[in-house]
């Protein structure tokens, strides 16, 4: 939706410098914006792009308002990011879902919902499901028997919520996520018939986000639980009976083995691993691709691995790693054990 520079200034309660009738059809970075686009400048790091910018107008913070260089039309605001969000929300309104059931969608018996819902083509909703108001179930998604969804949830294309999963309000399940599946049937004894049936559920709190192609197994006897505002990026694996505390976020491709317990306000880096049956306390940061192999009781940042090197140097140093204990014994003078 196009806006004039004047309309943008009014929207963000900013000061308009220059022409208010410049028409803006989109937002773009300062170095790439064209005459119909709004750019933004909120940090002196990007100042060098200002002079050559072809933007129709620039949203900026007060320290840059007096600069001679760059587009003449400026909108000055105290918080450029906040203003940018407001402008983008107006320029790029989220397309409204098509409310109602698509004729090719299937809904099982005893399923109920509040207010309006949107269910896309070839979506399947099982029996005895309860959906809150304004839920969107996209095309090809599967909501299993007895699932409960709060209000304003979004289940994206091809996502699967297995039977019995319980979901809070405003939860977003991205495309291809598999939530509440029964998980790995392997038992260390190698005898699959010794495995307990998995009757626990997967329980997601309010405002949880589950990334594309992420998998979360249901619990065995207890539930697998993600508390409110947990955010999982794409391609994450969460084993059975895992507990993740509120406001914790995990980056792409991280993995948590069965029965691990992760605290609140943690940040788990991309590709990091957490072994099973251990605990991580609140406010722990695990850096990317680190492996957590024992319980962490102190908040803080933790890492494993080695830094990146050119391969030739790496080979030499990695060869020495294999001798490290022997080398250390030479230094400390202690004999081999």
Catalytic residue positions, numbered: 240
Region near a second copy per CB under 8 A, out of 7-15, 42-50, 52-60, 322-330: 322-330
301: contact with a second copy by CB under 8 A: yes
20-23 LR contacts (CB < 8 Å, sep 24+): 20/73, 22/56, 22/57, 22/73, 23/56
| 85 binds a second copy per the rule CB under 8 A | yes
Determine, following the binding rule CB under 8 A, whether residue 1 of this chain makes contact with a second copy. Answer: no
Q: For the chain, what's the residue count?
A: 337
Spatial contact of 193 and 176, defined as CB atoms under 8 Å apart: no
Q: Which of residues 42-81 bind a second copy (CB under 8 A)?
A: 81
- Closest among 136, 127, 138, 144 to 104, alpha carbons compared: 138
Q: Does 303 bind a second copy (CB under 8 A)?
A: yes
Radius of gyration of the chain (CA): 26
Q: Is 300 in the site for a second copy (CB under 8 A)?
A: yes
Q: Is 169 in the site for a second copy (CB under 8 A)?
A: no
Q: Which of 14, 176, 205, 245 binds a second copy (CB under 8 A)?
A: 176
Exactly one of 8, 136, 149, 172 binds a second copy (CB under 8 A); that residue is 172
**Closer residue to a second copy, CB minimum distance, 9 or 161:** 161
> In which element (H, E) is residue 267 found?
strand 267-268
Q: Which is nearer to a second copy, 19 or 81 (CB)?
A: 81
- Choosing from 109, 196, 297, 335, the residue that interacts with a second copy (CB under 8 A) is 196
Closest CA to 59 of 93, 97, 9: 9
Site for a second copy in 132-161 (CB under 8 A): 139-140, 142, 145, 156-158, 160
Among 5-13, 70-78, 110-118, 291-299, which window interacts with a second copy (CB under 8 A)? 291-299
Task: Give the 3-state secondary structure of residue 27.
Answer: strand
Point out which span in 7-15, 55-63, 67-75, 193-201 binds a second copy (CB under 8 A). Answer: 193-201
111 binds a second copy (CB under 8 A): no
DSSP states of 107-150:
E-TT-EESS-EEE-TT-EE-TT-EE-TTEEE-TT-EE-TT-EE-
- Report the alpha-carbon angle 239-192-165, nearest 5: 35
Query: In this chain, which stretch among 4-12, 24-32, 66-74, 109-117 interacts with a second copy, using CB under 8 A?
Result: 24-32
User: Of 180, 187, 243, nearest to 217 (Cα)?
Assistant: 180
- Decide if residue 24 touches a second copy (CB under 8 A): no
Q: Give, in order, the Cα–Cα distances in Å from 152 to each of 103, 124, 127, 237, 285.
A: 22, 18, 20, 25, 30
295 binds a second copy (CB under 8 A): no
Binding window for a second copy (CB under 8 A); candidates: 5-13, 41-49, 57-65, 285-293: 285-293
User: Is the Cβ–Cβ distance between 263 and 282 less than 8 Å?
Assistant: yes
- Of 206-265, binders to a second copy (CB under 8 A) are 207, 209, 211-213, 215, 217, 221-222, 229, 231, 233-235, 237, 239, 247, 249, 251-253, 255, 257, 265
């Amino acid at each position: 939706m196009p806006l004039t520079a004047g309309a943008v200034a009014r929207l963000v309660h900013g000061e308009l410098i220059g022409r208010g009738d410049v028409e803006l059809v989109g937002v773009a970075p300062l170095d790439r914006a064209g005459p119909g686009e709004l750019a933004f400048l909120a940090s002196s790091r990007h100042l060098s792009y200002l002079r050559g910018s072809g933007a129709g107008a620039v949203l900026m913070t007060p320290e840059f308002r007096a600069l001679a260089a760059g587009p003449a039309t400026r909108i000055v605001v105290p918080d450029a990011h906040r203003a940018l969000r407001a402008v983008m929300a107006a320029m790029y309104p989220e397309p409204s879902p098509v409310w109602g059931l698509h004729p090719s969608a299937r809904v099982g018996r005893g399923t109920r919902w509040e207010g309006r819902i949107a269910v896309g083509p070839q979506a399947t909703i099982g029996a005895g499901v309860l959906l809150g108001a304004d839920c969107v179930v996209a095309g090809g998604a599967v909501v299993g028997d007895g699932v409960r969804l709060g209000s304003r949830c979004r289940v994206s294309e091809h996502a699967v919520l297995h039977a019995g999963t319980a979901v809070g309000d405003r939860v977003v399940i991205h495309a291809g996520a598999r939530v509440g599946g029964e998980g790995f049937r392997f038992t260390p004894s190698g005898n699959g018939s010794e495995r307990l049936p998995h009757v626990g559920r997967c329980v997601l709190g309010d405002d949880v986000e589950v990334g594309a192609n992420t998998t979360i197994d249901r619990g065995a006897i207890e539930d697998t639980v993600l508390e409110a505002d947990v955010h999982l990026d794409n391609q994450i694996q969460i084993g059975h009976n895992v507990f993740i505390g509120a406001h914790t976020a995990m980056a792409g491709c991280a993995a948590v083995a069965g029965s691990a317990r992760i605290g609140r306000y943690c940040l788990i880096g991309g590709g990091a691993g957490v072994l099973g049956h251990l605990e991580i306390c609140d406010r722990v940061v695990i850096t990317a691709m680190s492996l957590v192999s024992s319980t962490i009781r102190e908040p803080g940042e933790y890492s494993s691995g080695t830094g990146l090197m050119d391969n030739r140097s790496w080979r030499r140093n990695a060869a020495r790693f294999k001798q490290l204990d022997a080398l250390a014994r030479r230094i400390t003078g202690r004999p081999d054990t």
